[in-house]
Amino acid sequence: MMGYCITDRSIFMGENPSSSSRTTDRKLIERNRRYQMKALYSKLNSLVPHQSPREAIPLPDQLEEATSYIKKLQMKLEKMKEKKDSLIAINNQRSNFIQHREMIKGSKSSPRFEILEVGTIALQVVLRTESDSEFSLTDIIRLLHEEGADIVTANYTVVEDVVIHTIHCEVEESVNVAAMISERLKRL
């Protein structure tokens, strides 16, 4: 008697060989996708610091923890950017102060002034005098008021025997205000 050996399960089960191979391919693709996702979750989980590394954490909890960690890092980055901007501003102020101090060292005779336009409606008047000068700051403030300037702040700093007066004021939008103030200060 002649016997037939059936080696393909699909023939034995009465399945179409091409549909069986498609099913096997889909299963293989899905299994590979799951392995890849598991490897990616594992990699993500390894990047997040854990409080209790010994116990197994369910996948949704791992994702929640990673999300929380990333948000904390974003907030920390924002704070660091703000601190950096603040430190840059402080450094710029120090640089300006050092420049003013260097300018003072060369001139210790008569009062010197500098008018800086800050935007369209703000002025900064910087006055340098010797500490024993008979110069009157009130005369400068009166002059600025007469020219229509509103004093916002007035500060002074003493460097060795030189006094630096810094006056910030707001003026009406006018190109000639700085020039008029400058002329009047020269006469004063």
Q: At what angle do helices 59-105 and 17-47 cross, to 10 degrees?
A: 40
Q: Higher model confidence: residue 109 or residue 158?
A: 158
Longest dimension (CA), the chain: 134
**Spatial CA neighbour of 101 closest among 131, 128, 137:** 128
pLDDT tens for 152-188 read 888 888 877 788 888 888 877 655 677 777 777 777 6
- Provide the whole-model pTM: 0.40
Alpha helices in 2-158 (DSSP H): 9-13, 17-47, 59-105, 137-146
Which pLDDT does position 10 carry in this prediction? Answer: 46
Q: At what angle do helices 137-146 and 176-187 cross, to 10 degrees?
A: 140
**Spatial CA neighbour of 147 closest among 176, 118, 168, 117:** 176
Tell me the average pLDDT across 134-144. 77
Where are the domains positioned within the chain? 110-187
Domain 110-187 has CATH 3.40.1440.10: no
pLDDT interval class at 18 (50, 70, 90): low
Query: For 160, which DSSP code?
Result: T
Sheet arrangement for strand 162-170: 112-118, 122-130, 162-170, 150-159
Tell me the average pLDDT across 42-64. 81
**How high does pLDDT run on average in the chain?**
77
